[in-house]
Amino acid sequence: MKRKRVVILGSTGSIGTSALKVARDIPERMEVVALAAHSSVGKLAEQAREFGVRHVCIFDESKVAELRALLPADVKICAGLEGLCELAALEEADMVLVSIIGTAGLQPTLCAIEAGKDLAIASKEILVMAGEVVMTRAAEKGINVLPVDSEHNAIYQCLQGNHGGAEQVSRLILTASGGPFRTTPREQLAKVTLEQALKHPTWKMGRKITIDSATLFNKGLEMIEARWLFDIPMERVDVIVHPQSIVHSLVEYRDGSILAQLSSSDMCFPIQYAVTWPERIDNSLPHLNLAEIAALRFEAPRWDDFPALNLARHAGLTGGTMPAMYNAANEVAVQAFVEGRLSFPGIWQTVEKTLAAATPEDYHGQLDIILAADAWAREYAASLIRRD
C-alpha cells in the first residue's frame, strides 16, 4: 500500500501535533506534504523543516515576512483564507486533515472536496454549521470523510460491516468524560474560574475545546456533527458520561446489540485510523490492559445542570441555520468567559437567549445564508454580554 500524502491544516494545535506524531510513527504509510497554522511562526517553521514540506500557510498575513526568514527559499509560503484553500487543493495531496478551531475551516474543506481530496475532519464546527452542504458535496464527488474526533471515529469503526444502513441503527451513543465539574454542585458553578475550567481530567487540548468540554458544549456540538456525519436523525443521537474515557463511543443496533470501541486516551489512535483506513497497522501506541482497568463506569448526563446538551438537541431538531447560530453564540460566550467578562454559567445562558431570539432558515446549500446567520448570532450574543 502506498503512503498517503497528507496536508495538515492546523498543524501547531493539539490535533496537528498528534498527527505529526502519527507521521513519525508510521512513515511508511503517511507523508506530510503541507502544513498550515494560525500564527505560531516558530513552531510552524520547525515542523516544516523536520518534515521537509515545500508548502506552508500562515493564516495571520502579518507573519509572512517572519516565517520567510525561518524557511529555505524553495518553500512556498501562502497566507490567509486563500492560502488555506490553496493548500487544501494541493495537487500532490491525497488527504486533507482539517483541525482548524472554529468556522475558518469551512471554506478550505469545501475546496478540498472540490479538488477530490479525502477528508479527515477534526473541526466539528464545519459539520455543525454546514453538515448538509459538506456531506452532500462529498457524496457527489465520491470523497471519503473520515472523522478524527475520538467519539466519531469510534462510531465510524463500530459501523464498519453494517450493510443495512441507518435503519439498522437504534442509537449513536457518544461518551463524555463529564469534564472537571462532573460532580460539582450546581450552585457552585457560578464561581468557576478560568483556571479551573482549563483542568480537564483526561485530555490535553486547546483552550477553546477544553472550556467546551467543561460546559459540555463540546458534546453538544458532537451530537449535531454525528447527525450529519452518519445520516442519523437527531433524536437517535444520545450521550452517556464515562469518566474513564476508555470507551470512546458506542452504536446500539435495532436488535439491542451494542458495539463499542475502546483504546487508551490518545488522539493518535483515531488519526492513524483515518489515515490508514480501511486497514489497521502496527504502531508504538500503548495497548489497553483490561485486567488492570477491571471495571468501566457510566453515568447519565446532568441535563438540567449543563443545558448545552438540551440546547444542542433543540438546535439539531430545528435544523436549518439554528446549529450554526448555536455554535457562533457559544464561540462568542467562551471568548467573553476567557476574558473575564462573563461567568461560567453565562456561557450557556448567552447561547440559550440567542437561540430564543433567533429566526432559523433553511439554507438549501447556500453558504451565504449560513454565514449571515453565524454573523447575526455573534453580534446578538455580544450585545447580550455588553448589556450584562
Which residues, listed in sequence order, are joined to residue 8 by a DSSP beta bridge? Answer: 35, 97
Query: Mean pLDDT over residues 117-123, rounded?
Result: 95
- Rounded Cα–Cα distance for residues 344 and 176 (Å): 19
The C-alpha cell of 313 is what?
Answer: 438537541
Residues 155-176, mean pLDDT to the nearest whole number = 92
Phi, psi of 220 (to 5 degrees): -60, -45
Reported confidence tier of residue 252, pLDDT bands at 50, 70, 90: very high
Strand partners, 172: 237, 251
pLDDT of residue 305: 96
Residue 363 has pLDDT above 90, yes or no: no
Q: Is the pLDDT of residue 357 over 90?
A: yes
Inter-CA distances, 31 with 93, 370, 379, Å = 9, 35, 42
Q: Where does the pLDDT of residue 367 fall: very low under 50, low under 70, confident under 90, or very high at 90 and above?
A: confident
Is the pLDDT reported for residue 303 higher than 90?
Answer: yes
Query: In this predicted model, what pLDDT tens digit does every residue of 15-29 receive, in sequence order?
Result: 999 999 999 999 999
Instruction: Please give the CATH number for the structural domain made up of 4-122.
Output: 3.40.50.720
Task: Name the pLDDT band for 365 (thresholds 50, 70, 90).
Answer: confident
The pLDDT, as a whole number, for residue 98 is 97
What is d(CA 250, CA 248) in angstroms, rounded to the nearest whole number?
7
Asked whether the domain spanning 154-387 has the same topology as the one spanning 4-122, the reply is no
Per CATH, the number for 154-387 is: 1.10.1740.10
pTM for the full model? 0.93
User: What pLDDT does 177 receive?
Assistant: 92
* pLDDT of residue 200 exceeding 90: no
pLDDT at 203: 65
pLDDT at residue 184 in the model: 95
Domain-wise residue ranges, the chain: 4-122, 154-387
Residue 301 and residue 278: Cα distance in Å, rounded?
Answer: 33
Structure-block grid coordinates of residue 296: 468501566
- CA torsion, ordered 127, 132, 134, 140, to nearest 10 deg: 150
